[in-house]
Structure 1
Amino acid sequence: MRFPSTRQEAEAWFRRYGWSPERDIGAEADVLVQKAREQAAEYGVSYVVSEFARDFIRSFGGLRILFDDSPENHFVAKPGFAYKGGAEGIEEFSGELGESLFPLGFDTYDGAVMLVDGRGRFFLMHHTGNYYLGDDALQAVTNFMTADMQDAEDFYV
Structure 2
Amino acid sequence: MPDLHTTRFPGNVDAVLREAGWQPGRWDIKQAEHWADTLRAHVSPAGHRHAVFPAAVEAWAEFGGLQVTGPGTGRHIAPAAVRIDPLAGLHLARTLGDLGRALDTEITPLGEEGDHQAVLAIDAEGRVYSLDHTGDWYLGRDIDTALATLITGTSPTRLTTGA
TM bracket (short chain): 0.7 to 0.9
Is 1:99 the equivalent of 2:105? yes
Map 1:46-61 → 2, pairs under 5 A: 46-61=49-64
- Name the residue aligned to 1:3: none
The normalised TM-score by structure 2 is 0.77
Farther off after superposition, 28-37 or 75-84: 75-84
- Deviation by residue 1:10-40 (Cα, 9 ceiling, x = unmatched): 011111001122110121210022223334x
> 1:77 touches 1:105 (CA, 8 Å); kept in 2?
yes
Inter-partner Cα distance in structure 1 for 2:130 and 2:17? 19
> 1:81 touches 1:87 (CA, 8 Å); kept in 2?
no
- Deviation by residue 1:82-110 (Cα, 9 ceiling, x = unmatched): 585x3322122112111110111012334
CA drift of 1:147 comes to: 4.7
CA drift of 1:140 comes to: 0.4
Higher relative contact order (CA 8 A, sep 6+): 2
The normalised TM-score by structure 1 is 0.79
SS at match of 1:119: coil
Q: 2:67 aligns with which of 31, 55, 64?
A: 64
Structure 2 portions without partners, runs of 5+: 1-8, 73-79
Inter-partner Cα distance in structure 2 for 1:64 and 1:38? 25
CA drift of 1:150 comes to: 0.6
Inter-partner Cα distance in structure 1 for 2:30 and 2:88? 21
The structure having more radius of gyration, on CA atoms, is 2
Task: Supply the AA of the counterpart residue of 2:99.
Answer: F
Is 1:150 the equivalent of 2:153? no
Farther off after superposition, 42-51 or 112-121: 42-51
Task: Supply the AA of the counterpart residue of 1:149.
Answer: P
Structure 1 portions without partners, runs of 5+: 1-5
> 1:133 touches 1:150 (CA, 8 Å); kept in 2?
yes
Map 1:1-157 → 2, pairs under 5 A: 7-39=10-42, 41-43=43-45, 44-66=47-69, 74-81=81-88, 86-145=92-151, 146-153=153-160
